[in-house]
Amino acid sequence: MSKRILALLERALAVARQLGARHWRKVLNVRLRLRWNEEIFHLLLAGSVGILGGLVNLIFYHAIEGVKHFALHRPGDVMEVAELLDWWQRLLIPALGGLAAGLVLHWGLQLVKPGATNMLEVVVAGDGRLKFRPGLVRTLSSLVSIGTGASIGREGSIVHMAATLASKLGQWFNWHPYRLRLLVGCGAAAGLSAAYNAPIAGAVFAAQIVLGNFSMTCFAPLIVASVMATLVSRSFFGIAPWYEVPAHEFTSLDQLGWFMLFGVLCGVFGAGFLRLLTASEGLFARLRGPVYLRLALGGVIVGAIAIGFPDVWGNGYGATNKILHHSLGWEFLAGLLLAKLVATLAAVGAGTIGGVLTPTLFLGAGLGSLLASGLHSAGIATTLPTHTFALVGMGSVLAATTHSPLLAMIMMFEISLNYSMMPPLMLTCAVATLVARQLHPDSVYTATLKARGLEAGADSPRLGAAHQQKVGDLMRAPVSPMRENTPLPEISAFFLQHTFNFLPVVDAEQRLLGLVALQDLKAYLNDVDLLSSVIASDVMRPAPVVLTPDQLLTDALPMLLASEQRNVPVVNSLSERRLVGSVLRTEALGLMAEAIAARSTWASH
């Protein structure tokens, strides 16, 4: 009886082997279709970073409220609080706030190790590593400044902290520089999206300003991070637009004439603002003394201006809404515009930590409202409401300072939800950007980099700039290698469990001997008995392409184009050939294509 059972079992096993050999190729095809790839992993990472960015915005908001409660003893927008204070309080509070913020920087940065904290710098010329402790010190200083009325925006610190935490996440896992840079971009997208409730603008900001790359390999994770951050933020703050104005339908070409001229004015104003920022920073830098004295001086200037114009306190959000919803005289508008301009120059020039995006929106609103008031006083363009010029001015001055009309147009739509303004807004943003570029070649984000000897225009490629990257920047863990004496059934099982089309073969010292190709196994699939007698060295082929970490991607391009491998092996040197990593061929070629396309477009301009 037992012999009969054993015979039946042997027969069943033989049938199973035949069926397995017959359907082997079908199983392999299914495995290839269900493969787990790098893009999916990046999307999951981006979603986590997006949640993190939304939480950073929430924590930052409550932290500022805590500082305001401590310093001002009143809730609400700091501008509204300033209007209720005595003149001496308007002067003293920003001055003491600047002193305290400077002391946080002075003492805090002495306690922590120095490190890179410039988000664009670590993308353009670094490895994507933002230091957490210096970043935290800068964030704490920013909280003090914003909570005590400094003429600075909160979005800069939110974006920077979200990007820092995203970079730190990658550093914990010791990921390669390419992924760290992408995480920095996702953090920036999440921070801006959460701060402004603007997911499209957040993704575009990170793609164009931070990473300099709109390929789907990069843009898709930025979108996921932006969406997740926005939803987290909306769950706490709702979805109301930042600025609400009545719609105005544009149906005639003659309505756009004034906006062409307005675009030129915004371009000149934006370029002048950037030059004044540079001059202000240089003036404060020449002052001898520690950083807390410079920030205190900046606070004194803001406080002195606030005696006559309390609207200069804060990022300008409350004052911008006042301009949009109230009819103000042109004399007051001119004074308020000049006051906010000087206050912002003093805060930024002194070294106050924060963003200039929201103050820029205020300046644009003031400029547009002032122009409309002047035109209406002269009996010109009376059919165009003042708030139309104000809202268009916000986007146009933003476009002029960032050199990014696309970002400005999208952001203005998302923070106002007013589509009727898009025709004049698009036209004015384009004109303002062209004029500003002619007058000042650097944007508000790239001027700092240029001062450090780094070139990164708004159009120049960064992540994806393959002409500047090396193989080591993209290198990841190698495909799990096989020893030269590994039997074929074990190799076949590995192919079934993974999606690789080639497996590296190494010796006892991890030197690369060759490759086993998936297609080379077909000759052995129909002979079950032969499978167990064949080892890796019998079926391997020489590795046609090997890379080294110090190779430039431009030098590796011919080899990548000639290779059939999805994961091209990387060895420590061509002489020793010890396997140290791999490069995803499609990723490297995609970066090269983006860099070439971006350079061609840039050169054509």
Task: Please write the tens of the pLDDT for every residue from 459-493.
Answer: 444 544 445 567 776 777 788 888 888 887 787 77
pTM of full prediction above 0.85? no
Point out the least confidently predicted range of 25-29, 65-69, 357-361, 478-482.
Answer: 25-29
Residue 517: strand pairing partners: 502
How distant, in Å, are the alpha carbons of 295, 422, 434, 534, 567 from that of 263?
A: 34, 14, 9, 74, 50
User: Which domains are present in the chain?
Assistant: 39-451 (1.10.3080.10), 471-604 (3.10.580.10)
pLDDT band at 29 (very low <50, low <70, confident <90, very high): low
Task: Please write the tens of the pLDDT for every residue from 525-558.
Answer: 666 566 666 777 777 888 777 888 777 777 777 7
CB 355, CB 383: distance < 8 Å: no
- What token pair was written down for 363? 């300046």
Task: Please write the tens of the pLDDT for every residue from 113-150.
Answer: 776 678 887 777 667 889 999 999 999 999 999 999 99
Q: Long-range contacts for 253-260 (Cβ within 8 Å, ≥24 apart)?
A: 255/383, 255/384, 255/424, 256/423, 256/424, 256/427, 258/375, 258/381, 258/384, 259/392, 259/424, 259/427, 259/428, 260/427, 260/428, 260/431
Task: Please write the tens of the pLDDT for every residue from 293-341.
Answer: 999 999 999 999 999 999 999 888 888 988 988 888 888 999 999 999 9
Query: Mapped to the 3 state alphabet, what secondary structure does 53-101 carry?
Result: HHHHHHHHHHHHHHHHHHHHCCCCCHHHHHHHCCHHHHHHHHHHHHHHH
